[in-house]
Amino acid sequence: MCKRFALDLDWDAIAAQFSVAEEDVRGDVLPRPSYNIAPTQNIAVIAQGKDGHRHLTGAYWSLIPSWSPGKTLPYPTYNARVESAHVKSTFAESTRSRRTIIPASGYYEWRGRRPFYFSPEMESTALAMAGLYSWRRPSAASLWQLTATILTCPAVDGPATVHDRMPLLVPAGMTSEWLDPSIDGARLLAPMRKAGAELSARLHFHEVAPPEGDGPSLIRPINREEPMRLF
C-alpha cells in the first residue's frame, strides 16, 4: 500500500516532464511542499481533459465516486489494487476513462513498524505514480471536487523486501495511453504492471525514522551500524 509520500517538486519542471502547457497549470490549488502527505490531504495530479489538454492541478487524496452520497465511505479509497480496480464499483468507471498520474518526490513503506523511503534514481525526476480520479459535487450549490487514488500492485525485487505492495509506476513510454480517456484502461493494466515493475526495481530506498511532523529531515537515512567495541 501507499499511505504516505513526499512531494517537494518544482511545478514548472513537472509541467515540462509531463508536457503540460503553462496555461494548464493550476498553481493556486497545487499542494505546498510536504514530506508527510497523508490520505485526505491535497495532492497534485496530471490528467487529460475533454479539451485534449493535460492539466496539472490539485485533488483530494481518497477517491470518492460520483454516486457516493457522502464524502466518507465505509472502506479506505486512498489506494486501489491494480488486480481488481476495473471490476470494483468504486473504481471501475475511473479505470475505464479517468486515469491520472500522481507525481511524488518519493514514498514510504513499512516493514513491520520500520519505515523505508523510496525515491527515483535521478533526484531531478519525479516518480509518476499511476492513479484514478473522480469528480464529486456535495450539493447543487457546491463546486465540483476532484478526488484521486493511487494504484498499487504486488511488490517486486527490492521493494518486496520491505512490503508486499507498492505503488504502480507509469513508464514514460505509456504516459500518453494512460492519460487518454478514449482508451479503456482495463486493457492497459497488465502491460502497465509489467513495465512499472521494472521501474520500481530500480528505485533507491533506505530506512528512516517514523514520519512525524514535516520537513526534509524525515527522509534522512537511519544509520543502524553498531558502534565498535574496543573490549
Residues designated as active site = 2, 109
Do residues 118 and 161 lie in contact, with contact meaning Cβ atoms separated by under 8 Å? no
Cβ neighbours of residue 219 under 8 Å, at least 6 residues apart?
6, 35, 106, 117, 119, 208
DSSP 115-133: EEEEE-SSTTS-EEEEEEE
Do residues 108 and 127 lie in contact, with contact meaning Cβ atoms separated by under 8 Å? no
**Three cell numbers written together for 5:** 509520500
Q: How many Å apart are CA 39 and CA 178, to the nearest integer?
A: 23
Sign of CA dihedral 15, 154, 177, 173: positive
Which residues partner with 47 through β-bridges?
55
> ∠ CA(190), CA(132), CA(31), 5° rounding?
135
**Three cell numbers written together for 208:** 528512516
Distances (CA, A) of 98 to 67, 143, 177: 15, 19, 12
